[in-house]
Homo-oligomer: A and B are copies of this chain.
């Protein structure tokens, strides 16, 4: 198994940002709402206040079967109040070691197994496609993006988390994915972000 340029996906806290104060207004196991005041590189003498919703970072993966199909998952999403067809994704639960390549890769492997019932082939190439912020206006949540060139189905199928509502695995031809992106059938940020990176890097056409 080869992991290409994982370091590239690790984000660092940029220079020139300082925190004046942070007050946590709400916290649960899933999200934390912080009222923060910061100073930024462009305005080091002015306080800027903002409400930031903190959430674990996550991993999303476009994985290809031996016959060139992309493995996607259809699931009912409570927050969006609809079923969406997405690439597999999951949060990095080992928060302390969230910047470690093997922790990120472990999350990727676990999501492929649990959500869609596939595993990475021994001769697969794993390509890091960077990361993105899901909604920079209000949350620090960011998702690392990967492409896996070859996955194979598990004989045991998938093993979805009982707290979620996963409807099934879908194998999608790249030409069909393009149509789904164009027509709004794909309408979530992680699948659109992966599609953007894959096409801009000519991994998908």
* A residues at B contact (CB < 8 Å): 8, 13-14, 17, 25-26, 28, 30-31, 33, 36, 38, 40-43, 48, 50-53, 55, 58, 76-84, 86, 89, 91, 130-142, 163, 165, 167, 178-179, 181-184, 187-189, 192-193, 195-197, 199-201
Contacts and interface: CB of A to CB of B under 8 A. Distances in A.
Contacts of A167: 42
Given A36-B78, A79-B139, A181 B197 contact: yes
Q: How many copies of this chain does one complex carry?
A: 2
B197 A43 contact: no
Contacts of A79: 50, 52-53, 133, 135-140
A157 B160 CA distance: 52
Given A48-B165, A165-B43, A184-B131, A189 B200 contact: no
A165 B42 CA distance: 8
18 contacts: A14-B82, A40-B165, A42-B165, A48-B78, A48-B163, A50-B79, A80-B140, A86-B136, A130-B184, A130-B187, A131-B187, A132-B192, A134-B135, A178-B200, A189-B189, A189-B192, A193-B196, A199-B199
